[in-house]
Amino acid sequence: MRGGNPLLGTIRVSGAKNAALPAMAAALLTEEPVILENIPQVQDIETTRKLLAAMGAEVELGYGRAHHRTTLCCRDLIAPEASYELVKTMRASTLVLGPLVARMGRARVSLPGGCAIGARPIDLHIKGLEKLGATIEQEHGYVLAHAKRLRGGEIFFDKITVTGTEDLLMAACLAEGETLMHNCAREPEVADLAALLNKMGAKIEGAGTATIRIQGVEKLHGARHRIIPDRIEAGTFIIAAVLTGGDLNVAGCEPRHLQALLQKLEDVGVKLMPAVDAVRVIGNGELKASDIITEEYPGFPTDMQAQYMALATQASGSSVITENIFENRFMHAQELVRMGADIKVEGRRAIVRGKTPLSAAAVQASDLRASASLVLAALVADGETIIDRVYHIDRGYERIEEKLRGVGAQMRRIGQLFPKRAAATVATV
């Protein structure tokens, strides 16, 4: 990548990966076809396709200009299993656990194990399923769950978990009787999943709030659903416009889902013009340092923390960034320092002192959002940056280099899209 160009014009946001993944898992709950539109063309979706296909599901991914449509049909499921091979590349694979026990009466799903950004256990998924009457055993690194038919129950999440809420929400739809879940995740992706499930015949109230009530039904049927826009991709493009001093219309997004970020950017001194389904960013003023604390929705998202850190390097003063959700999510800090940033990490806090000019370097992506922060830094760095291990970015950003190039960024991919790990180096002009 070569930095220095302001981003100008219109950039389109894709469908939300984190809404698409549970929606695909929801197709396991019915014998009938589920049609999903606005599915992003990213590696995690491909991993989910493989995961479902290995169970005997028919999955057609139809990427067109107008719709990114997927049709899933889980009529004949042969193996209710998620193997370690797939779970280790994408932790969200554990989203199949609840639907499989609910529909098939059994599931064998690999435990996710360690992760670059923290421990990420699934104890809350397991505890919740037990509350719904499932018997759970663990052996050889796998969770084995059984239940003749799940029955409704009352679940209190000790900690707010997004995929945990989604997993149990799906399971409870086919349980006998009523389930009441407390301290649920309130992310828009949870509400989107509930909207799909209700179209499939489920009876869910309260999704998007902390308490969700589910009246179990015998069967679910097919449905058609459009996935909500990706608020993290939108947020990343907004920061790209700010950093480059551009004038960018981030189109096809849902500004309501971006409130915490937009408010923070106003504190930083950014001029924003939100519309119904777009945000125009005019990024030509001085940026002032401002602190953030990551929190569950509607707080500032942990998935925007790394990108905000790249922005903070260009703001005047000290910004304190506190990461509350994951214990080890500052690996991008060291790479930003190699590009000239002044960042000190103390436990769960990072102190960024700005403004420091960034200079291009060879850097390495460590996880999905960390790689986005390196792309952002490279957009304003002096010279040519090479980002290695960009397979991380392909997990969650659809053709990022094409989209950013379309609004003026100088970047190109070296190697193919979705490359194998060994061949995954990339990006210079």
Stretch of 115-123, 236-244, 344-352, 382-390 contacting ligand UD1, by CB under 6 A? 115-123
Q: Give yes or no for residue 91 binding ligand UD1 (CB under 6 A).
A: yes
Q: Give yes or no for residue 125 binding ligand UD1 (CB under 6 A).
A: yes
**208-267 positions binding ligand UD1, by CB under 6 A:** none
Q: Give yes or no for residue 132 binding ligand UD1 (CB under 6 A).
A: no
**174-203 positions binding ligand UD1, by CB under 6 A:** 189
Q: Give yes or no for residue 170 binding ligand UD1 (CB under 6 A).
A: no
Stretch of 102-110, 122-130, 244-252, 270-278 contacting ligand UD1, by CB under 6 A? 122-130
The CA dihedral of 182, 185, 187, 193, to the nearest 10 degrees, is -70
Q: Is the dihedral of CA 175, 176, 181, 186 positive or negative?
A: positive
Rounded-to-integer distance, Cα 182 and Cα 206, Å: 10
Q: Give yes or no for residue 156 binding ligand UD1 (CB under 6 A).
A: no
Binding mask 295-324 for ligand UD1 (x = CB under 6 A): -------xx---------------------
Q: Give yes or no for residue 88 binding ligand UD1 (CB under 6 A).
A: no
Q: Give yes or no for residue 16 binding ligand UD1 (CB under 6 A).
A: no
Active site residue 115: yes
Locate 114 and state its tokens. 């360690």
Shortest Cβ 162–ligand UD1 spacing (Å):
4
Q: List the one residue out of 147, 149, 146, 185 whose CA is nearest residue 169.
A: 185
Do residues 380 and 314 touch, judged by C-beta distance below 8 A?
yes
308 vs 326, which CB is nearer to ligand UD1? 326
Which one of residues 326, 330, 391, 397 is an interface residue with ligand UD1 (CB under 6 A)?
Answer: 326
Do residues 197 and 223 touch, judged by C-beta distance below 8 A?
no
Stretch of 157-165, 172-180, 285-293, 403-411 contacting ligand UD1, by CB under 6 A? 157-165
Residues annotated as catalytic are 115
